[in-house]
Amino acid sequence: MRAPFTSFVVLSAVSSSLAAWVPLSSLQNRVDSPFLDCLETAGFDPVVQGESEYATDAAPFNLRFDWKPAALVYPNDSAGVAAAVKCGAAHSIKVNARSGGHSYAAFALGGEDGHLTVDLNNLRHLSVSGDTATIGAGNRLGDVALYLWENGQRAMAHGTCPYVGIGGHAGQGGFGLPSRAWGLLADQVQSLEIVTADGSILTASQSENSDLFWAATGAGSSFGIITSFTTVTHEALDSVAFSYTFANYGPAEASKGLQAWQNFANDPSKPLDVSLGLQIHIAPGDSPSGVVFSVSGQYYGVDEAKVNATFAPLLAELGQPSATFIQTQDWITSVLFLAGTTGLDSLNTTLAPDTHDDFYATSTFVSLDEPLGSPSTDAVMEYFYGPGATSEVAWFVIFDLYGGGESVINKVGADYNAFNARDALYSIQYYGTIPNSVSDADGISFIQGMKAAIEDNQPQTFFKEYVNYIDSTYTADFAHQKYYPTHTARLTDLKNKYDPNRVIHHPQDF
């Protein structure tokens, strides 16, 4: 049972006290605000409530939120970021960076009203030199992948959505299908430039400001505003995309399927090649049950015969798929395929605007030491194939393999950086788009029911969670226990060192 943590607390949108003395709603009053004066003196044209751009600029990716920042600014360089941070610090306005804006809790907009959002969209420089890349923190994953491909056929492990920003993604983990071979995106960062809460522009790496580097690669949203990442890159490998679909499963078969996948993923007698990226997807779909279960992924640097031979023993347990897909792809084709798009231009996020969603998501890490037992997998599959088959919430669940074999994610060691789940076998992400016909509270509790089915039926387990799937309903203390169970004390000390006045701050901060 999840005994120590039984309640989920929904954070309310607390209006900040600064509203009393910072006039937000009238252009006329701008001249009276020392905070806005400070930004203007620094050369900004801050976007504030009442201006026509405000609605668009302050719109979150997750439309479930409607935070009202005191202002948004768009610096052109690190000095501009530092100037903005200093204005926030001088006038007691909390500050947040926005890279791609994809935070599930809209924390780049403060996660509450009255913050300063420092949007990094103008920090989009990209360069490669040998096997390293330098990447401005305003870039999105699609731009990075495209640039690396076009400049020497280089690559990194990172997530699939082209519009996710490198700032949040690399700052707090960043999982992709090549991560078992190359690590999380945070692990591929060699050094970074960061503006700290006092407005200093620092370089941090394992040899310089190493404590800050440790914190900013895993708990990146709490230690300043990263302006640039220098990363290792890898040869862009061809791969084989595979998917085995089981449209004829019911809950019993799906539970056995998850058990078989879990054993296959972590069989000490047959260590799984790190070049294999492996998932399970479960979502409503076209099948007799209304739900479709599929095992899929990408196997880098091998041919189709190797894929067939690798999966033969697993398929012997999963049964005959209702559909099989196997395709050899060059690197950039695999990036497009995983993004669900076509054409290189679809990776260039300067060419088309981002989309939005209205959703709630949360996660579970299943540890190497304690794979799920059948009470847990039975219960969750009964939930998916029962209430899940008819829910109005448009949900999906993804199981991402982190561990198994010699996975680099685990091998770097428990305290390599602030990311605190080096014992993960796999993550589970539970995601639901909430339609207008369903209340937020009902949509959220429907998704939380999935997680409860997993966690409440697994005796005596503590489950960690993934901070890049940040759960908007958590208090700060509960979030720290889930995201940084053994790193909270060290991160709190470092927060006291680098940001004693809590200038950079969101509701789940240290």
> CB–CB of 316/239 below 8 Å?
no
Which stretches within 107-227 are classed as H helix?
A: 141-150, 166-171, 179-182, 210-216
Residue with tokens 């200038």: 503
- Does residue 168 sit in helix, strand or coil? helix
- Binding at 172: pick from ligand FAD, ligand NAG, none (beta carbon under 5-8 Å per type): ligand FAD
> CB–CB of 48/70 below 8 Å?
yes
Q: Considering only the stretches 218-226, 244-252, 407-415, 484-492, report the one whose residues sit in contact with ligand FAD under the rule CB under 6 A.
A: 218-226
* Under rule CB under 6 A, residue 205 binds ligand NAG: no
Rounded distance, CA 82 to CA 86, Å? 6
Least Å from the CB of residue 265 to ligand FAD: 18
Element (H, E) at 57: helix 54-57
Rounded distance, CA 444 to CA 473, Å? 9
Site string for ligand NAG, 350-369 (x = CB under 6 A): xx------------------
Q: Which of 428, 343, 394, 429 is closest to 162 using CA atoms?
A: 343
* Under rule CB under 6 A, residue 71 binds ligand FAD: no
Rounded distance, CA 401 to CA 429, Å? 12
Q: Considering only the stretches 163-171, 254-262, 270-278, 324-332, report the one whose residues sit in contact with ligand FAD under the rule CB under 6 A.
A: 163-171
In the chain, what is the greatest distance between 2 CA atoms, to the nearest angstrom?
73
Q: Which of 39, 236, 506, 507 binds ligand FAD (CB under 6 A)?
A: 506
239 has which bridge partners?
A: 300, 329
Nearer to ligand NAG, 351 or 489 (CB): 351
Strands 95-98 and 116-119: parallel
Q: What are phi and psi of 466, to 5 degrees?
A: -100, 120
* Under rule CB under 6 A, residue 120 binds ligand FAD: yes
Q: Which of 11, 326, 389, 394 binds ligand NAG (CB under 6 A)?
A: 326
Residues 6+ apart with CB under 8 A from 509: 221, 222, 476, 495, 502
Nearer to ligand FAD, 97 or 380 (CB): 97
Fill in the amino acid letter for 445.
S
Q: Considering only the stretches 7-15, 221-229, 371-379, 445-453, report the one whose residues sit in contact with ligand FAD under the rule CB under 6 A.
A: 221-229
Q: Which of 66, 131, 235, 304 binds ligand NAG (CB under 6 A)?
A: 304
- Binding at 226: pick from ligand FAD, ligand NAG, none (beta carbon under 5-8 Å per type): ligand FAD
Least Å from the CB of residue 235 to ligand NAG: 19
Q: Which of 69, 114, 159, 404 binds ligand FAD (CB under 6 A)?
A: 159
Q: Using CB under 6 A, list all residues that contact ligand NAG.
A: 43-44, 75-76, 80, 143, 146-147, 304-305, 308, 324, 326, 348, 350-351
Q: Using CB under 6 A, list all residues that contact ligand FAD.
A: 61, 96-104, 107-108, 120, 137, 159-161, 164-165, 167-169, 171-176, 220-221, 225-226, 468, 506
